[in-house]
A and B are shown apart, each in its own frame.
Chain A
């Protein structure tokens, strides 16, 4: 690696930008251990008070539980719907394919406020407000593109002949998919599932409309807390979420490496 001024400049730029990206995250983690009642960085002292406050508040614990239930349900639905859809889109050619592809992906580019109000107006009619299942159903719509994109990517990079090899040697099409293709694309499907889950845990606007009352999820409660208090109590919850995020990324990265090894 030659040491030209271009490389030095690029490296400095990289360090600067990465710091810009990561420094806020680090500050939040640090502040969650702060002993002060105001937002001071660096914190004047260390304490676990905010974690104790969070664990002692039944609303927080309930919120965590609601968030997990919604996220898992939404992602399971998204996976059950999205994996067959990915098969259809990658393995077959039929009229209207690109249109359907665009429709499935459109949930990603729709502004969240549009989905939020639209979903609310319709859910009011069918009585899905204040329902965990209701929110999960709405979140599943946004989860489907994550599952489809990642599953489709796995499917296209896998050897197409593997399924044919299974079928010609006696496996029924369903058997071939279950025994051969699914194990190979499993990491891609898992990545889609995780992305869908994480998206659901962050989602705020639809959650405010559908579940903003008693059984609110983490995102809604955090937003309420941030707007009302000026102390670092939210940072404890944030740190837990950051921990979840880091775990997610590590799992996703390992899954991707596993996927590459399996496809080869």
Chain B
């Protein structure tokens, strides 16, 4: 591995593999034997609640932590013995970590000065190009404390990208920004990813952010990978209850299996209704306690006066929330509550305390592994 690096446009990203990586702090195990295969040039999110191990995984890939066992490979070569400064990584930190005593230009030029032997002129040009990429060209001579949060975030990205690293790590970079700026920056980051082509690994606890931005999502929980796949795989085919609950909003209904056939299973729900649910290859046996996920937006409203079709459940509205484009309802059905989300146009005449009938497509409920 050389310490000089030439900057070629679009060198492409690195394929990042983790093989059975574990990490503990003293007696506490933080990661249990994680294995991942991230394709070159992909945009991957590490998603999960706090304590799930996503930031630890990021720090292991960066080299700030060393795994207790297992291996980490970039493009098929182990980086276990490579110090972080030689891994050819760019990183955006949660606190941006811009060097306060340097100007924006000097901040962005830093990786070039450290990693390459480019001339001052070449460095200046590359810095200018990168600042243009993040639309911060006018701020070159300012100091970080003179910039707003969103501006600092862009400069941090520029610094991470300037030397065309094969891997870009981002640790909850948008956490400190307000919603509007966050939404805007999400698209910015995607645009930059398409332009640059490196592998992006993005840590977040915000599942909608992960779904919007990523090619692949790795959902982690308690030091393990709960599910890894494309955003739609995680949303439409959650592997088990945790995934269904974390991704999007979901009603988790519990019940016991009454009968099983090849395609469907009949489940008696605790809330007093029997459902026939597509099996989708989930192994079930009669009498088994099982969970079913049902997304609020898959449930439709019908006032009791209208004619009934298909499977319906009757309940009473106990909460009603207005979201502008839709309504969120809490409907009580015997002892249970179902959350329902309907477009505003479909919710005419609904009020708290009123009765409603709920229905959904046969395919909407999903059997979950527990």
State the A residues within 8 Å of B (CB). 159, 161-162, 164-173, 175, 180, 183-184, 261-264
**Are B99 and A164 interface neighbours, CB within 8 A?**
no
In the bound complex, CA of A161 to CA of B163 (Å): 20
Residue of A nearest to B113 (CB): A170
**Are A168 and B115 interface neighbours, CB within 8 A?**
no
**Are A170 and B95 interface neighbours, CB within 8 A?**
no
Given that A262-B100, A263-B100 are contacting pairs, would A171 and B93 also be in contact in the complex, using a CB cutoff of 8 Å?
A: no
Given that A159-B95, A175-B114, A264-B145 are contacting pairs, would A167 and B85 also be in contact in the complex, using a CB cutoff of 8 Å?
A: yes
**Are A170 and B101 interface neighbours, CB within 8 A?**
no
**Are B97 and A164 interface neighbours, CB within 8 A?**
yes
Chain A residue contacts of B89, Cβ below 8 A: 168
Query: Shortest CB–CB separation between residue B60 and chain A, in angstroms?
Result: 13
Query: Shortest CB–CB separation between residue A252 and chain B, in angstroms?
Result: 20
- List residues of B (49-108) whose CB comes within 8 Å of A's CBs: 62-64, 83-85, 87, 89-91, 93-95, 97-101
Given that A171-B114, A172-B85 are contacting pairs, would A166 and B99 also be in contact in the complex, using a CB cutoff of 8 Å?
A: yes
Given that A164-B64, A175-B114, A264-B145 are contacting pairs, would A169 and B91 also be in contact in the complex, using a CB cutoff of 8 Å?
A: yes
Chain A residue contacts of B356, Cβ below 8 A: none
Query: Shortest CB–CB separation between residue B108 and chain A, in angstroms?
Result: 10
- Using an 8 Å CB-CB cutoff, how does the interface string of B94-132 with A read, 1 for contact, 0 for none? 110111110000000011001100000000000000000
**Are B99 and A165 interface neighbours, CB within 8 A?**
yes
Given that A171-B85, A264-B100, A264-B145 are contacting pairs, would A165 and B93 also be in contact in the complex, using a CB cutoff of 8 Å?
A: yes
Chain A residue contacts of B159, Cβ below 8 A: 165, 169
**Are A161 and B100 interface neighbours, CB within 8 A?**
no
Query: Shortest CB–CB separation between residue A261 and chain B, in angstroms?
Result: 8
Chain B residue contacts of A184, Cβ below 8 A: 100-101
Chain A residue contacts of B97, Cβ below 8 A: 159, 161-162, 164-165
Chain A residue contacts of B84, Cβ below 8 A: 164, 167-168
Query: Shortest CB–CB separation between residue B163 and chain A, in angstroms?
Result: 7
**Are A162 and B99 interface neighbours, CB within 8 A?**
yes
In the bound complex, CA of A162 to CA of B95 (Å): 9
**Are A164 and B100 interface neighbours, CB within 8 A?**
no
Chain B residue contacts of A165, Cβ below 8 A: 91, 93, 97-99, 159
Chain B residue contacts of A159, Cβ below 8 A: 95, 97
Q: Interface size for chain B: under 10, 10 to 19, 20 to 34, or 35 or more residues?
A: 20 to 34
Residue of B nearest to A176 (CB): B85
In the bound complex, CA of A171 to CA of B116 (Å): 11
Q: Does B203 contact A (CB under 8 A)?
A: no
Q: Does B160 contact A (CB under 8 A)?
A: yes
In the bound complex, CA of A98 to CA of B145 (Å): 35
Known: A161-B95, A170-B111, A172-B83. 19 other contacts (CB 8 A): A159-B95, A161-B94, A164-B64, A166-B99, A167-B85, A168-B62, A168-B85, A168-B89, A168-B91, A168-B169, A169-B114, A169-B115, A169-B160, A170-B163, A171-B110, A171-B114, A172-B85, A262-B101, A264-B100
In the bound complex, CA of A168 to CA of B111 (Å): 9
In the bound complex, CA of A208 to CA of B161 (Å): 62
Query: Shortest CB–CB separation between residue B349 and chain A, in angstroms?
Result: 54
Chain B residue contacts of A162, Cβ below 8 A: 97, 99-100
Chain A residue contacts of B87, Cβ below 8 A: 168
Chain A residue contacts of B160, Cβ below 8 A: 169
**Are B99 and A180 interface neighbours, CB within 8 A?**
yes
Chain B residue contacts of A261, Cβ below 8 A: 145
In the bound complex, CA of A167 to CA of B90 (Å): 10
Query: Shortest CB–CB separation between residue B224 and chain A, in angstroms?
Result: 26
Residue of B nearest to A165 (CB): B97
In the bound complex, CA of A183 to CA of B94 (Å): 22
Chain A residue contacts of B111, Cβ below 8 A: 169-170
**Are B93 and A161 interface neighbours, CB within 8 A?**
yes
Chain B residue contacts of A264, Cβ below 8 A: 100, 145
Query: Shortest CB–CB separation between residue A46 and chain B, in angstroms?
Result: 48
Pick the contact of A166: B100, B110, B163 (CB < 8 A): B110
Given that A162-B99, A183-B101, A263-B100 are contacting pairs, would A169 and B93 also be in contact in the complex, using a CB cutoff of 8 Å?
A: no
Chain A residue contacts of B98, Cβ below 8 A: 165
Chain B residue contacts of A263, Cβ below 8 A: 100
Query: Shortest CB–CB separation between residue B84 and chain A, in angstroms?
Result: 5
